[in-house]
Chains A and B, each alone.
Chain A
Amino acid sequence: MAEKVAVDPQAFKKAVDDRTNARLKMWLEICAHCGLCADTCHFYLSNDRDPKLIPAIKGKKVLEAFKKKDKIDEAFLEELYWTVYGDCTMCRRCTMFCPFGIDIATITSTGRGLCVSQGKVPENLVKTIESYYEYGNQMEVSEEDWIDTLQWMEEELQEELPGATIPIDKKGANLLYTVNAREPKFYPMDISQAAMVFYLAGEDWTMSSKGWDDTNLAMFAGDLKAAGYVSQLVRDAAEELEVKRVAITE
């Protein structure tokens, strides 16, 4: 039996209505189809200037989706999926070079949101979103492992700089330092190096046992609900610890 991708036209229409806003409507209408954005896009340049990859084409595909609403079918969804996840990294370079400042990155992100409504999201991104919900970070780092890593890094740090610490959950600190979950998972030394800088700068800082991952791959995936959840984790940590500001890793 052939694999069947379920299309939910009503959910798609609802996503279109939800994501319609004044900027998007304006941009999709006024694009002059001038092609001046073409050679600002790395997809176009690195594929022998394949005209199918110019930024405006991505806008056009999302415009089609907006026009189709509940008239979408599997074939179209597939096309949209490959365009918004496969042909654009939402870097916004083209936005800088378009005479109107049309924000293709935001348009692509909207297109991804439409795919989310159909559960059509790249598998790896789905996994990271699940990890955010379950572990509060994208790399399935448990709280226990996180604290262990911080303590281990503190020991390493103290070998070089006696007296330096990695404070955890210090209330009222000036700065909450958040990291990419890759750091505890693969490059823990990054954390002790940052701690070194903070120590030498005399910064009043802390790390948090919860809400410490500052990446937001849910946003990258176009899943706004999950993206909101992820940002909220950091915000909650900052409020809980009553810090003045949140710093994010380089």
Chain B
Amino acid sequence: MNLVTLYELLRGPLLWLAFGVFFGGMVLRVILFYRLSKRKDGVIYRFFSWKWLWLSIFRWIVPLNETAKKNPIVTLVGFVFHICLIATPIFLLAHGVLWYESWEISWWSLSEQVADYMTLIVIGCGLFFAIRRMVLPHVRIVTTAADYLLLAVTLTPFVTGYLAYHQYFDYNTVLILHMFFGELMLVVIPFTKLSHFLMFFFSRAITGMEFGRRSAPSW
């Protein structure tokens, strides 16, 4: 198989597959969660409260809580990391072009310079987390191989994207690796702790309501 067919595979069917597994997987997660919770988590529905649900999510989606106050550096790095991680691939000009080629849809995009910095920021924050894991005893002790592996899975699309943009090494090979790692990340999200991008909202809502029913804030 040469590079061109590989490119076409990754650009076509495998990309479909990755998006399919990602969206399908997450929808399935939510359905399974709902079904099991209906059977075994009566407490959620008995004390359901929109007020505490939104308050709990809001207080943590913007850092308005004690943990953020007590850990300003981790909070800052965490927020910058997540914002760049999500925004960069969505608003990258080069990705926008691909969407336009396939679907003739387009949206606002970042300037290439800014996107370049944001990519570096994601990588930098990722390294910060890796070092934090190695250095702090109370983080090291709960760290598993999967934690490092998933961090790597999250960072490789950005590293290869950076290399591709600057055309370091062999452009075609790097591009193919970039596509592969990007698709790999999408595929693993629903089956690993990376699913927290969505489950965060469920968990926060549930704990918010659980504390809220005793009029105690969970932040």
Q: Which residues of A contact B204 (CB under 8 A)?
A: 100-101
**Would you call A27 and B67 a contact (CB within 8 A)?**
no
Residues of chain B with a CB closer than 8 A to A23's CB? 37, 41, 44, 203, 206
Binds A, one of B111-119, B133-141, B164-172, B174-182: B133-141
Of the listed stretches B19-27, B88-96, B192-200, chain A binds: B192-200
Task: Decide if A103 is an interface residue (CB 8 Å cutoff).
Answer: yes
Q: For the complex, what is the distance from the CA of A96 to the CA of B216, rounded to whole Å?
A: 10
CB neighbors of A among B34-75 (8 A): 34, 36-37, 40-41, 44, 56, 60, 65-67, 70-71, 74
CB nearest neighbor in B for A20 = B40
Q: How many B residues are at the interface, by size bracket?
A: 35 or more
B109 an interface residue at 8 Å Cβ cutoff?
no
B196, A36: Cβ atoms closer than 8 Å = no
Q: Does A6 contact B (CB under 8 A)?
A: no
The listed residue with most A CB atoms (<10 A of its CB), out of B66, B70, B144, B207, is B207
Q: Which residues of A contact B210 (CB under 8 A)?
A: 103
Q: How far is the CA of A14 from the CA of B195 in the complex (A)?
A: 28
Name the contact of A51 in the complex, choosing from B33, B133, B141 (C-beta under 8 A): B141
For A31, the chain B residues whose CB sits under 8 A away are 142, 193
Q: What is the distance, in angstroms, from A52's C-beta to the closest C-beta of chain B?
A: 7
Q: Taking A27-B203, A44-B138, A51-B138 as contacts, is the C-beta distance between A22 and B218 under 8 angstroms?
A: no
Number of interface residues of A (CB under 8 A): 33
B36 close to A33 (CB less than 8 A): no
Segment with Cβ contacts to B, from A53-61, A79-87, A118-126, A235-243: A53-61
Interface: B100 (CB within 8 A) = no
B71 / chain A contacts, CB cutoff of 8 Å: 36
SS of B interface (majority): helix
A38 vs B44: C-alpha distance when bound (angstroms): 27
A29 & B195 in contact (Cβ 8 Å cutoff): yes
Contact residues, A9-25 vs B (CB, 8 A): 20-23, 25
Chain B residues whose CB sits within 8 angstroms of the CB of A27 once the complex forms:
203
With A22-B36, A23-B41 as contacts: A33 and B142 at CB distance below 8 Å: yes
Whole-angstrom distance between the alpha carbons of A47 and B195 in the complex? Answer: 34
B147 touches A33 (CB 8 A): yes
**Which listed residue, B65, B142, B144, B193, touches A54 by the CB 8 Å rule?**
B142
The answer to whether residues A51 and B137 also contact, given A30-B200, A33-B147, A96-B218 and a CB cut-off of 8 A, is yes
**Inter-chain contact A35/B138, CB cutoff 8 Å:** yes
Asked if A99 lies at the interface with its beta carbon under 8 angstroms from chain B, I say yes
Which residues of chain B come closer than 8 Å to A38, judged between CB atoms?
A: 138-139
Other-chain residue from A34, A60, A95 in contact with B218 (beta carbon distance below 8 A): A95
Quick check: is B161 within 8 A (CB to CB) of the other chain? no
A99 to B196, CA, bound (A): 11
With a cutoff of 8 Å between Cβ atoms, the chain A residues found around residue B139 in the complex are 33-35, 38
Query: Nearest A residue to B37 by beta-carbon distance?
Result: A22
Decide if B207 touches A103 in the complex (CB within 8 Å).
Answer: yes
Q: Cα distance A27–B204 when bound, in Å?
A: 11
Q: Which of A27, A30, A44 has the most CB of B within 10 A?
A: A30
Given contact pairs A29-B195, A36-B74, A100-B203, A22 touches B141 in the complex (Cβ within 8 A):
no
Bound CA span A23–B211, Å? 15
CB distance from B182 to the nearest CB of A (A): 22
B143 within 8 A of A: yes
Q: Does A32 reach chain B (CB closer than 8 Å)?
A: yes
A99 to B208, CA, bound (A): 11
Q: Which residues from A are CB-within-8-Å of B140?
A: 51
In the complex the two chains form, what is the Cα distance from A125 to B29 in whole Å? Answer: 39
A-B contact pairs, 7 of them (CB 8 A): A22-B41, A26-B203, A29-B193, A30-B200, A54-B141, A97-B67, A103-B210
Extra contacts besides A38-B138, A99-B67 (13): CB < 8 Å: A22-B32, A22-B36, A22-B41, A23-B41, A23-B44, A23-B206, A33-B143, A35-B136, A36-B67, A54-B142, A57-B142, A97-B65, A100-B200
Residues of B within 8 A of A (CB): 32-34, 36-37, 40-41, 44, 56, 60, 65-67, 70-71, 74, 133, 136-144, 147, 192-193, 195-196, 199-200, 202-204, 206-208, 210-211, 218-219
